[in-house]
Each structure stands twice: as structure tokens, then as C-alpha cells.
């Protein structure tokens, strides 16, 4: 079963959008297998966003993601990586279609409400950074 890492960013948590965002993925039919409200350390932020280290906005990105609690999640289901990104909308909310999470709730590229893994390799890496195996639930015994 394909899995992805999704995270409501500090702006989304502060604006009380956790429930709205979780509801969208639940209603789509995906299964939540892990979730926690947490603060991200500078070290964790640097590891998570390592591929952006050389970008001019890296400092801003780390400052923002460590500025308040995030809601980290693991979801599973058919094509969840690609479909979740479609449901999130374009990275820059000004380009995100209405009906997507960023299109409906975001205004700027920095504070764009939600993060989602962009490939199977990123999903595996990001899930491993944020969650232990013991924190992930299993549905296999449900008949």
C-alpha cells in the first residue's frame, strides 16, 4: 500500500485548519496511519528540507517551520502521493486552483498551509524522519 508524509504547517495549525484538512483526505478514502502535533527543531527542519539548503529562502523556510506546532501525518492508499499533491494544489497558492487546499486557504508561497512528499523516495525518507515504525497503525486485522 502506497504511503505519503503530509504536514499541516504552523500557519495551518494556528488557523485551526487541521480538522478541515484531515477531513478532506478521509473523505477522499485514504487511511490515516500516523499523526502527531509537534514542534520541529532546527536540526529536524534542516534534515527535512536538506534539498533546499542552497536556496535563498532556506533560512526563512527553517524559521517558519520551527515557529510553532505542525501536525505531521502519514496517509496510505492507492496513488496517495500523487493524489494528495493534486488535492494540495500548486506550491504557490496564487497558482493553486480553487478547490485545492492551497487554493482555498493559502496566499503566499512561504505560508502555504501544507507540505506533502513529492515522490516515493521522498515519502519513504520523510516518514522515516518524523515517525518510528511503532507510531504507525495497521488496519490489516479489520475484516
Q: Which helix (H) or strand (E) holds 102?
A: helix 101-105
48 has catalytic annotation: no
Residue 110 touching ligand CMP (CB under 6 A)? yes
CA atoms of 53 and 106, how far apart (whole Å)? 24
Among 46, 66, 67, 91, binds ligand CMP (CB under 6 A): 91
Looking up cell 505542525 gives 70
Binding segment (CB under 6 A) for ligand CMP, from list 26-34, 55-63, 99-107, 129-137: 55-63
Query: Quick one: 32 or 109, whose CB is closer to ligand CMP?
Result: 109
Looking up cell 488535492 gives 87
- Within 8 A by CB and 6+ apart from 18, the residues are 8, 12, 71
The HSE-up count of residue 93 (CA atoms within 13 Å, CB side) is 16
Residue 57 touching ligand CMP (CB under 6 A)? yes
CA atoms of 115 and 78, how far apart (whole Å)? 19
Residue of 76, 81, 106, 115 with catalytic role: 115
111 is in an annotated binding site: no
85 is in an annotated binding site: yes
Among 109, 122, 124, 136, binds ligand CMP (CB under 6 A): 109
Contact set with ligand CMP (CB under 6 A): 52, 57, 60-61, 91, 109-110, 112, 115
Amino acid at each position: 500500500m502506497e504511503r505519503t508524509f503530509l504536514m499541516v504547517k504552523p500557519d495551518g495549525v494556528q488557523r485551526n485548519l487541521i480538522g478541515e484538512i484531515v477531513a478532506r483526505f478521509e473523505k477522499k478514502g485514504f487511511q490515516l496511519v500516523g499523526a502527531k502535533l509537534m514542534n520541529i527543531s532546527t536540526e529536524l527542519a534542516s534534515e527535512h528540507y536538506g534539498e533546499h539548503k542552497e536556496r535563498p529562502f532556506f533560512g526563512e523556510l527553517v524559521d517558519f517551520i520551527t515557529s510553532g506546532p505542525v501536525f505531521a501525518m502519514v496517509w496510505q492508499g492507492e496513488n496517495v502521493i500523487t493524489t494528495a499533491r493534486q488535492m494540495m494544489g500548486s506550491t504557490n497558492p496564487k497558482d493553486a486552483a480553487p478547490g485545492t487546499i492551497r487554493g482555498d486557504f493559502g496566499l503566499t508561497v512561504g505560508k502555504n498551509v501544507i507540505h506533502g512528499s513529492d515522490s516515493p523516495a521522498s515519502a519513504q525518507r520523510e516518514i522515516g524522519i518524523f515517525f518510528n515504525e511503532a507510531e504507525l497503525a495497521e488496519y490489516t486485522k479489520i475484516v
